[in-house]
Chain A
Amino acid sequence: MEEVDNIIIDALRNLSCNIDEEVKSLKQFTTEMVFSSMSHCLEAISPDINLPSSLPPSMSLRLKHATTVAEHIKSLGYRGDMGYQTILYCNEIEVRRVLMFLVERLPRETHKTVTDELGYVPRLMKKIEEKIRLSLEKPWVPCDFLKYGVRDCGNIDLKQDFGHSSSLLSQNIQIPNLQQGTSSEALKQYWIHHLPDVSRQCDRQNLIPSLLYNDNKFVGKIDFIKSPEKKEICINTVDAVEGAQNVFVEPIVINNINQTTAEIDLNELYNDLEDHKLKYEELQKTYSDLEKQSSKLKEIRNKKEQTLKESVTKIKTRSKTLAVLQNNDNLIKLKSLVDNGNKRLIELGNHWNDIRTPLLKEYEQLQQQMEIEKAKIHTEEQKLQNIKNKKTNLLKELSDKEKLEQQLVQECESLNKNTNRSAYTRRILEIIGNIKKQNEDIQKILNDTKIVQKDINNLNGQLDRSFALSDELIFRDAKRDEMARKAYKLLATLHNDCGEVVQAVTNLGLVERECRNLQEQIDAELLREIGSKLERLNVDIAAIKKENAELANKEH
C-alpha cells in the first residue's frame, strides 16, 4: 500500500496541491486535504469545472460542496459507494480507492518539446523540418491567392511562388550628404530644388538593392555622351538627370537590336547630336578662353588704378611735410616731440613687460592644468567605455545563463519524472512477481487439497465397499449363527456411529470457517472506525443544529 500512497501523493503534489512534506501515507490525510486533492484532480481532468479548493467552515456549505464533488466523481464513472459521507467522514481505504481512480484519469502531461538552444545547424535543421512539414500538411493553394508568393501560416511564412522575385539590380541613386562640409552651394541648391526622393529615383523593385549595395559602381554604366561640364548641366533641371539616364540606357538597347530603318534614323540623329556636342564643346572652350582673357585684363586694370591712388596720396603727404619743414623752430619742436615719443614708448614697453610676464606664467599654468584635466577625462571616458562593454557582455552572459538554467530546470523535471516512473515500474514489476509467486503457492495448495480430497474419496469408496462386503458376509452368516446376528447388529451401530462422527467433523470445519469470516468482518468494521466517525457525525449534527438555531434566531 505504501507505493500506491507514494504514487498518489506524488501525483497530487504535481498538481500543486498543498501537501506537507511530512505526509507520507493516506492515513495522515485530513478531511480538508481529501477534499482539496479531489477538487484539484477534478479540475485537472476537466478544466471547465470550477470547484472551491478548500472546505468552508460552515457545516451546511461543507455538505453542499462535498456533494457536488461526489457527483462529479460519480459522473466520471466511479463505481464504488460515493457520496458526501465518503469525503467528509473519510476512511483510508475508500479514499485510497477514489484517489487512485482520479489519478488514473489525470490527463497525461503533453510532453513539451524542449527547444534546444543548440548550435546553428541543429536549429536550422529543425526549422527546415518544420517548414517542410507545414507545407506538406497545409492544403494546396493556387499561387494567385498569395501575396508576394508568401503563405502566412501563423508564425511561419511559406514561400510558394517566386514570381515576384526580381533579379538583384541596383541603380545609381543620389542621397544628399549634408554632413560633408565640402559640398558646393550649387550642389546644395540642386539637392534642395531638383533632386527627387530616393524612392522616385529608381524602379520600385530595385529600391532596396540600390539602397543597400553599390554594385553599379563596378558594373560599367559608362555615360559615353559625357558632356564637358556634366555637373552644371545636371544642376539645371531634374529632367536633365532623368533624361540623361534614359539616354544612357537607350543607345545600348538600340545597338543590340538588329538594323532597322528607325535605328538608322536614330543613328543619324545621334551623329547630329554628336556633331552638335562637339561644336558646343568648342564654343564652350573659346568662351572660357575669352573669359579668362577678360578677367586678366580686368586684373591688370585694377592694379594700375591702385598704384595710381597710392601715388596720389604720397604726393599729398610729401607736399604737406615740405611746407612744415620750411620753418626751423618747427623742426626742433618736432625733434623733441619725437624724442619724447620714443622715451614714452620704451617706458610703456617696460611697463607692458612687467604686466605681461605674470599673466603669461598664469596662462601657461592653466594650460598645463587643462592638459591634465583632459587626460583625466580621457581615461575616465575609456573606463566608461570599458564598463559599458562589460555591461553588455554581462547582460549577454546573464541571458545565456538564464536560458541554460531554464533548460536545466526542464531537464531536471523530466529526469525527476523519469526516475519516479522507472521506480514505479520496478515496484510494479516486483509486485507482479510477488503476485505470481503467491499464485503459484495458491495453486500448490489447491493441488494438495485436491489430492487429499481424492484420497478421502478413495477411502470412502473403500470403506463403503468393505462395509457392503462385510455386511453381506455377516448377513449371510446371521441366518445360521446367533453370534453372527449379534455381530451384524453391532456392525450396523458401528457404521451409524462412524457416520455421525464424520458428520460432526465436517460441521466443525464449517463452523470454523464461519468463525473466520465473522472475525474478518469484525476487523473490517473495526477499520472503518465507526465509533469515532459517529462521534464526528454527532458533533457535525450538533453544529448544523446550532447553525439552524442561529439562522432561526436571525429570522426572528
Chain B
Amino acid sequence: MNIKEELRNRVKFIGNCTVNDDIFKKLVENGFSTLTRKPETHSLSTLYNSKPDLIKEVYAIIMTITAEFARHDLSKEEITQFLVDSNFSTNRSALFVELYEKNKRDLQIALGNIGSHPPHIVDVEWKIDYIVKASNLDRSDGPIFRIALSTSKFDESVKGKSVERVYFTCNSRELQDLVYKLKDAVRHCQRLTSE
C-alpha cells in the first residue's frame, strides 16, 4: 500500500483526536454517502459543536483515506491493520470497516467513473429508406440504411451524462461490411471466453 507519509500522519492525528464516538460515527456515515454521491445522512452543521475546525478536518481526512482505501482495493484486514496502527480504537475501526464493506462497490463505481473516455455506444437505431426520386436521380438501386449510434458522454456543462447520436447512411454492401467487422469483434470476445 502506497499512502503518503503526510496523510498517514494526519490519520494518526485523527485517531487521537477528541471527537466523541457518536459524532465520529455520523461523520464516517456522511463521508461514505458523500463519496458515493448519495445525499448526506446527517446535517454537518449540527455536528460542529464547539470545534468546527476539528470536525471539518476529521471529515476531510476520513473521506480522503476512504477514497485511498477503495482506490487500492484494500481488504478488510488490511484496513483494520492500518487503522489500528493509526491509533484508532477497535470500536471505531470496526465501525469504519463495516461501513466500508457495505459501500465498497459503490465507492469503486464512483472511482471507476473518474477518467476520460471516447463517446460510448449504448444503442443503435436504424431505418431503411428507398429513394423514390431525387433531384439528380430518378431512382437508386436498393435500400439506403440510415443508422444512428447513440453515444453517451459526460457533459461538462450539465455535469452529467448526455446522449448524442452519430448519424450516417450506408448501402447494403457497406452495411454488410460493417456487420462483418462487428461480428468479427464479437467473435473475438466469444473466443476469449471459450479458451
Touch between chains A and B, by CB atoms below 8 Å: yes
Using CB atoms and an 8 Å cutoff, list the residues of chain A in contact with chain B.
128-129, 132-133, 136, 142-143, 148-150, 157, 159-168, 173, 175-179, 188, 191-193, 195, 197-199, 203-205, 207-209, 211-212, 392
Query: Among the listed B13, B51, B59, B120, which residue makes an inter-chain contact with A161, where contact means beta carbons less than 8 Å apart?
Result: B120
Stretch at the interface among B91-99, B106-114, B138-146: B106-114
B52's nearest neighbour on chain A, judged by CB, is A192
In the assembled complex, which residues on chain B have CB atoms less than 8 Å from the CB atom of A166? 113-114, 154, 156, 159
Interface residue? B165 (CB, 8 A): no
A208 lies within 8 A of B56 (CB): no
In the assembled complex, which residues on chain B have CB atoms less than 8 Å from the CB atom of A133? 193
Interface residue? B71 (CB, 8 A): yes
A150 lies within 8 A of B122 (CB): no
A208 lies within 8 A of B114 (CB): yes
Q: 23 interchain pairs (CB within 8 A)?
A: A136-B186, A142-B122, A143-B122, A148-B113, A163-B152, A163-B163, A166-B113, A166-B156, A166-B159, A167-B115, A168-B114, A176-B60, A179-B9, A195-B53, A197-B60, A198-B59, A198-B63, A199-B34, A205-B114, A207-B35, A211-B63, A211-B67, A212-B67
Known interface pairs A165-B154, A211-B67. Does A191 touch B163 (Cβ–Cβ under 8 Å)? Answer: no
Distance (whole angstroms) from the CB of A151 to the closest CB of chain B: 11
In the assembled complex, which residues on chain A have CB atoms less than 8 Å from the CB atom of B186? 136
In the assembled complex, which residues on chain B have CB atoms less than 8 Å from the CB atom of A173? 60
| Distance A150 CA – B105 CA, assembled complex (angstroms) | 10
A132 lies within 8 A of B193 (CB): yes
Query: Among the listed B10, B13, B53, which residue makes an inter-chain contact with A188, where contact means beta carbons less than 8 Å apart?
Result: B53
A203's nearest neighbour on chain B, judged by CB, is B159
| Distance A142 CA – B37 CA, assembled complex (angstroms) | 22
- The bracket for how many chain B residues form the interface is 35 or more
Known interface pairs A168-B116, A179-B13. Does A161 touch B109 (Cβ–Cβ under 8 Å)? Answer: no
Q: Is the interface of B mostly helix, strand, loop or mixed?
A: helix
Known interface pairs A197-B56, A198-B63. Does A167 touch B116 (Cβ–Cβ under 8 Å)? Answer: yes
Interface residue? B134 (CB, 8 A): no
A142 lies within 8 A of B52 (CB): no
| Distance A447 CA – B190 CA, assembled complex (angstroms) | 60
Known interface pairs A132-B192, A163-B163. Does A177 touch B113 (Cβ–Cβ under 8 Å)? Answer: no
| Distance A133 CA – B194 CA, assembled complex (angstroms) | 8
Per-residue interface assignment for chain B, residues 127 to 160, with 1 indicating a CB less than 8 Å from any chain A CB and 0 otherwise: 0000000000000000000000000111010011
Q: List residues of B (1-46) whose CB comes within 8 Å of A's CBs.
A: 9-10, 13, 34-35, 37, 40, 44
Using CB atoms and an 8 Å cutoff, list the residues of chain B in contact with chain A.
9-10, 13, 34-35, 37, 40, 44, 51-54, 56-57, 59-61, 63-64, 67-68, 71, 81, 105, 108-117, 120, 122-123, 152-154, 156, 159-163, 186, 189-190, 192-193, 195
B109 lies within 8 A of A176 (CB): no
B161 lies within 8 A of A176 (CB): no
Known interface pairs A165-B113, A167-B116, A212-B71. Does A197 touch B44 (Cβ–Cβ under 8 Å)? Answer: yes
B160 lies within 8 A of A164 (CB): yes
Q: Is the interface of A mostly helix, strand, loop or mixed?
A: mixed
A205 lies within 8 A of B159 (CB): yes
In the assembled complex, which residues on chain B have CB atoms less than 8 Å from the CB atom of A212? 64, 67-68, 71
Distance (whole angstroms) from the CB of B189 to the closest CB of chain A: 5
| Distance A30 CA – B37 CA, assembled complex (angstroms) | 68
| Distance A211 CA – B122 CA, assembled complex (angstroms) | 31
B105 lies within 8 A of A163 (CB): no
Distance (whole angstroms) from the CB of A460 to the closest CB of chain B: 72
B192 lies within 8 A of A128 (CB): yes
In the assembled complex, which residues on chain A have CB atoms less than 8 Å from the CB atom of B13? 178-179
B114 lies within 8 A of A204 (CB): no
Known interface pairs A136-B189, A179-B13, A198-B63. Does A162 touch B159 (Cβ–Cβ under 8 Å)? Answer: no
Known interface pairs A175-B60, A197-B56, A197-B59. Does A161 touch B67 (Cβ–Cβ under 8 Å)? Answer: no
In the assembled complex, which residues on chain B have CB atoms less than 8 Å from the CB atom of A157? 105, 108-109
| Distance A173 CA – B193 CA, assembled complex (angstroms) | 45
A211 lies within 8 A of B64 (CB): yes
| Distance A275 CA – B163 CA, assembled complex (angstroms) | 46
Known interface pairs A167-B154, A212-B64. Does A178 touch B57 (Cβ–Cβ under 8 Å)? Answer: yes
B155's nearest neighbour on chain A, judged by CB, is A163
B37 lies within 8 A of A204 (CB): yes
B109 lies within 8 A of A163 (CB): no
Distance (whole angstroms) from the CB of B47 to the closest CB of chain A: 10
B113 lies within 8 A of A192 (CB): no
A162 lies within 8 A of B152 (CB): yes
| Distance A454 CA – B158 CA, assembled complex (angstroms) | 105
Known interface pairs A162-B120, A175-B61. Does A198 touch B152 (Cβ–Cβ under 8 Å)? Answer: no
A212's nearest neighbour on chain B, judged by CB, is B67
In the assembled complex, which residues on chain A have CB atoms less than 8 Å from the CB atom of B114? 165-168, 205, 208-209
A148's nearest neighbour on chain B, judged by CB, is B109
A129 lies within 8 A of B195 (CB): yes
A193's nearest neighbour on chain B, judged by CB, is B52
